Structure 1
Amino acid sequence: MTAPRILVVGGGAGGLPLVTFLGKRLGRKQLADVVLIDSNTNHVWKPRYHEVATGAIDADLDAVDFRAHARLNHYRFVPGALTAVDTAARSVTLAAVVGANGQTVLPERTMDYDYLVLALGSQSNDFNTPGVREHAMFMDSRRQAERFRERFLNACMQADFENRPLSIAIVGGGATGVELAAELHHAVSMLKLYGHEHLDRRRLNVHLIEATSRLLPALPEKVSSSARSHLERLGVKVHTDTLVECAEAGAFVVKGGERIEGDLLVWAAGVKAPDVLSSLQGFSFNRIGQIDVEPTLQARGHEQVYVIGDSASCILPGSERPLPPRAQTAQQMAHHLAKSLEGVVLRGRTPTPFVYRDRGSLVSLSKYSSVGTLIPTAKGSNLFIEGALARWAYISLYRMHQAALYGWPRTVMLLIAGRFNRLVRPRLKLH
């Protein structure tokens, strides 16, 4: 009897832990053919994109190579971008893989599946604001973060040479915008150590623009006010209740006609499902393009298709809103679905309903601080934390993600290797 094939499309915060678990439990014993499909060849944890963007981390050292990881964890990696799903034939279509010089490396292909998991994450939602796509940068992928870093370093070099201030305008007062604003100040302070004579934090103007009445609107008021206080002490200019009407070269134009200028413009406001999802036939979607799923994480009307992470609109019993698009949601979904699918494949069980446990939210303010809430138990209340304790908790979230991919022994070795790298490498990625 042929082992069932499980296709997982998307190697992010949900998809990669999922194939890791399934590979170890099913792939190792050839009880299932576990396949990861992704348009990239490596994984960088998305909550760290703001650090990639400023050079605080070297993505080459931090990335998980899918091919190497697949070999260690008994699954297969297939490169390609999803273009279509045929639920009747139980197959997916992948776009051709094209090389840097335009040659076709792999042709368009189809792959059959017994079980399909869509874990494609999300992308920024520009709400069709005029000029944003032409003039602003996004933080949806490693490639975009690295493109920002290149332009940021060049802008810093130019401002230092011309002995003038540097301005950066960020739209979006959520976690990405807040974390990037703080990280920019840290990056400029580090560049001072590497030859910048004139540019320092006092001459860095970071504008953080939020349409609602406060930063981090999805988090408690205490977290919001603490984050704003920290940012303003750094020198970030916070604009709340400020709606952007359009983007122009070198400026965002807000309601009322005011121009908030920036040498660099960043859009980090709102999320929506990847555009490819809305092109799929036969699925039910919500207003931001997420696929509607049952509490079992099965796509509505399609028992063999599961959706996890930011691509899923999952409204659990007793709730009126979908689960928040956060890394912890994707990770919990992946952990649950791995066990649920194992029962389905090995024992013919019916999929089990997902139970979400909000563990709180933490926001990094670079090396300066962190703020957020922790929820110690399922019945506990929000515990506000900030400072060194919050910073430690924030870092531990990433270590737990690494442990899910590598196991704790390898994670500890990676931590030690990182400490040694600090002795011989610059404190900021400078190229």
Structure 2
Amino acid sequence: MKTQIVIVGGGAAGLELAAKLGAHYGRKHHDIILVDCNRTHIWKPLLHEVATGSLDANLDEVGYRSHCHRWGYRYFYGSLAGIDRNRRRIRLAAIQDDRGREVIASHEIRYDYLVLAYGSVTNDFGTPGVAENCTFLDSRDQADRFRDKLLDQCLRVSRTMASDPSGDAQVRVAIVGAGATGVELAAELYNAADALGYYGLEVFDRSRLQVTLIEAGPRILPALPEQLAAAARAELEALGVRVLVDTPVVEATAEGMILRSGERIGADLQVWAAGVKAKPIAEGLDGLELARSGQVVVRPTLQSESDERVFAIGDCAFCKLPGSDRPVPPRAQAAHQMADAAFANLKRMMADKPLVDFVYKDHGSLVSLSRFSTVGSLMGNLVGGRMAVEGRLARFIYLSLYRMHLLAIHGWIKGSAMIAISHMNRIVRPRLKLH
């Protein structure tokens, strides 16, 4: 019987690991299976660009079925419902179509080794009204829905201004959470507003956009050095963003946000980007030790504390390395490094060799303010996060992170071709995706 390795989650960590295992082992003696609840993969840090129409996800997404054929693994469409560790089985939930008819019944997949890489979702911290009234940016579907709502609101304001030029109609957007996602989305909205004038909304410009960025903490971008966060805030405010810090939100309503101070922030569109938590699993994980955040607690080898045959990588892993007082942060660079470490340890485990500890190398943080600016710090583990970069150099490095991901999942030949094609698309494709 073939050795079966099941990877749950086709995000940055899971997809890179599946490609590495498939390319290394092939199909002769190993069966590498990737399970994901989507049919395509898109790099999660790009979702704010999909949400504003700055990026056409149809050009950048990766179809799992074609990718698995190329890299020697199998793909199963489905969502993890639960685990039976004694029998070494995972259960996938039934799949239904949009009319509620069952497409695939609930079923099980056996494993010899299991890798959990199902990622994270936005954490609303139990704030009343958030789930009902706010948009999250955890998936392409959510980003697409936000873009549709944004375009509808822009069209509404444009038509109102055409009939009453003296009016003060605006598209009001409230974003809660001033980490990378919230800050990048706020800037990208102004890039989209500038571009809409080219595509039929002649009376619409950035002056009709009212963006409020709300942060409960003392400053925006806590992962960056204070001077870079201050520079990013100055750039946002120059664009027209109202930035509020030390400002907790106590409720989200259909009309907008209610702050602890009692102030109400009116909004046509509301985005909640205030932190993440592990994606909940309906039937649980059969006793695997979990952190308060719902993440799977892992050893330095990335094996679960509860089961040596179960690994966890990426955002769903709670990995607190020796000598560190904090777990590895849920970042794309951590997911990439964990995929490499899990690949090495799975090979060692199957060869009856001792496993090695994961070593996280913090290469710093970068935040893109669309075409307006990019700020960040590099080589945080080497120089304490003090090498500040801004402008064109920072933008180049920021884009390089995505190029590295493309090379990891497609290989050098196809990955390089896709990078070249993306440069051409910037010239020949429209500036915004409007459908």
TM-score by length of 1: 0.97
1:153-210 CA-to-partner distances (Å, cap 9, x unmatched) read 1111111111222110000000000000000000010101111122211221110000
C-alpha distance 277-379 of structure 1, shift in aligned 2 (>3 A):
farther
Deviation of 1:378 (Å): 4.3
Query: Residue type matched to 1:236 in 2?
Result: V
Report what 1:13 is aligned to.
Answer: 12
Please identify, of 272-281 and 131-140, the stretch whose mean Cα deviation from structure 2 is larger.
272-281
Tell me if the contact between 2:364 and 2:385 (Cα under 8 Å) persists in the aligned partners: no
Distance change in 2, residues 1:421/1:266 (3 Å): same
Q: Give the drift of 1:379.
A: 6.1
Q: Which amino acid aligns with 1:394?
A: Y
Structure 1 residue aligned with 2:165 = none
Quote the residue 2:29 is aligned against. Answer: 31
Question: How far 1:349 sits from its partner (Å)?
Answer: 1.4
Classify the secondary structure of the residue corresponding to 1:154.
helix
User: What are the within-5 Å matches in structure 2 for residues 284-363 of structure 1?
Assistant: 284-345=289-350, 347-363=351-367
Aligned-residue CA RMSD (Å): 1.4
What are the ranges of 5 or more consecutive residues in structure 2 without an aligned counterpart?
162-168
Q: Distance in 2 between matches of 1:261 and 1:409?
A: 49
Q: Are 2:59 and 1:58 aligned?
A: no
2:12 aligned counterpart, secondary structure: coil
Counterpart residue identity of residue 143, structure 2? A
Q: Distance in 2 between matches of 1:98 and 1:166?
A: 36
Relative to 1, partners in 2 of residues 1:184 and 1:278: Cα closer, same or farther, differing over 3 Å? Answer: farther
- Corresponding letter in the other structure for 1:38: D
Q: Distance in 2 between matches of 1:349 and 1:27?
A: 21
Q: Which residue number corresponds to residue 131 of structure 1?
A: 129
2:408 aligned partner: 404
Q: Report whether the alignment pairs 1:257 with 2:262.
A: yes
Q: Which amino acid aligns with 1:112?
A: R
Identify which of 270, 278, 293 aligns with 1:273: 278
How far off is 1:91 after superposition?
Answer: 0.5
Contact 2:214 2:247 survives alignment (8 Å): yes
Q: Where does structure 1 lack aligned partners over 5 or more consecutive residues?
A: none
**Are 1:370 and 2:374 matched, yes or no?**
yes
Shift of 1:380: 6.7
Q: CA deviation at 1:49?
A: 0.3
Number of paired residues? Answer: 428
1:428 maps to which residue?
Answer: 432
Q: Match for residue 2 of structure 2? A: 3
- Output the amino acid matched with 1:388: R
Shift in Å, 1:294: 0.5
CA distance in structure 2 between the aligned counterparts of 1:120 and 1:51, rounded to whole angstroms: 22
Task: Look up the SS of the partner of 1:358 in the other structure.
Answer: coil
Q: Evaluate the alpha carbon distance shift between residue 133 and residue 377 of structure 1 in structure 2; reply closer, same or farther with a 3 A threshold.
A: closer
Residue 166 of structure 2 is matched in structure 1 by: none
The residue type equivalent to 1:44 in the other structure is I
1:227 matched to 2:226? The reply is no
Shift of 1:381: 5.1
Show the counterpart of 1:384. Answer: 388
Partner-residue secondary structure (3-state), 2:212: strand
Q: Following TM superposition, by how much is the alpha carbon of 1:97 offset from its aligned partner in structure 2, in angstroms?
A: 1.6
User: Which segment is superposed worse, 274-283 or 206-215?
Assistant: 274-283
Q: Give the drift of 1:418.
A: 2.4
SS in 2 for 1:168: strand
How far did residue 409 of structure 1 move? 1.9
Q: Look up the SS of the partner of 1:316 in the other structure.
A: coil
Which residue in the other structure is 2:147 paired with?
A: 149
**Matches of 2:408 and 2:24 in 1, distance apart?**
14
Q: CA deviation at 1:367?
A: 1.0
